Amino acid sequence: MSSLAEITVALGDAVEDSFEKGSDDDVDTWVRVKTSAWRDAASTLREKLDYDYFCFLSAIDWLPSPYGRGEEDPTAERAAIDSTIRQGYTGGATRMQVFARLVNHRTHHGVTLKADVPDDSLTIDSWVGVFAGANWHERETHEMFGISFAGHPDLRNMYLPTDFEGHPLRKDFPLLARIVKPWPGIVDVEPLPGGSDEEGEAE
């Protein structure tokens, strides 16, 4: 039985969607579980299928940045930015998603678990009871994205000062350096003079 099939059976109706990439012996798996099943999914994978190595936990903010890529002239009128939220692999319904990676250290197969974080409460269960190593990762995610983890012992800031306002890795948190001054690195992708090889090949 393939790894994905095993996972789907073990997690049962907690699975919202799944995705697989790669060839036979080198396959990477994504599974999105229900928000309410986030913690149980981790313990099921750990207990039943030996996914005992905790790799990382973090979050993605799927809102396209309202500031663009910071490469435009700041004095010019800003072009309209499409702010429709499109989630990546395994889809989703919310702006924020948490994702984490677990690996079976015997078969070396890894799975990326994802879950939606409800927009109104921005809270999801903590993994600390399942993987002690999730502690710091959840603290980091909390300060960078403002997501709360129910059951986490101590969601203090890891990097930022205690009274810091805002959540830097959210897309609507501006990177001020780019707004004050356009990024000079943009010249890197201008076509070379004297050549019309816009889609040209490197030598």
List interacting residues with other proteins (CB under 8 A). 25-26, 28, 30, 52-56, 58, 60-61, 64-65, 69-71, 86, 88-89, 99, 101, 105, 108, 110, 112, 131-133, 135-137, 144, 157-160, 168-169, 173, 175, 178, 183, 185, 188-189, 197-203
Written as one string, the DSSP assignment of 25-93 is TEEEEEEEE-GGGHHHHHHHHHHHH---EEEEEEEEE-SPPTTTTS-S-TTSPPPP--------TT--S
User: Between residues 36 and 199, which has the closer beta carbon with respect to other proteins?
Assistant: 199
- Calpha distance 53→133 (Å, rounded): 10
Long-range contacts of 21-30 (CB under 8 A, 24+ apart): 27/2, 27/3, 27/109, 28/110, 28/112, 29/3, 29/4, 29/109, 29/110, 29/111, 29/112, 30/89, 30/90, 30/111, 30/112, 30/114
Residue 127 CB, shortest distance to other proteins, in Å, is 10
User: Nearest distance from residue 183's CB to other proteins, in Å?
Assistant: 7
Which CB sits closer to other proteins, 12 or 200?
200
> Given the complex with other proteins, which of 122 and 173 has the nearer CB atom?
173
Residue 4 or 12 having the CB closest to other proteins: 4
Residue type at 22? G
Q: Which is nearer to other proteins, 13 or 78 (CB)?
A: 78
Q: How far is the CB of 185 from other proteins (least distance, A)?
A: 6
- Residue 13 or 106 with smaller CB distance to other proteins: 106
CB of 86 to other proteins, least distance (A): 8
C-beta of 200: minimal distance to other proteins in Å? 5
- The alpha-carbon radius of gyration of the chain (Å, integer) is 21
Q: How far is CA 53 from CA 25, 125, 131, 141, 170, in A?
A: 19, 19, 9, 19, 28
For the CB of residue 131, give the shortest distance to other proteins in the complex, in Å: 5
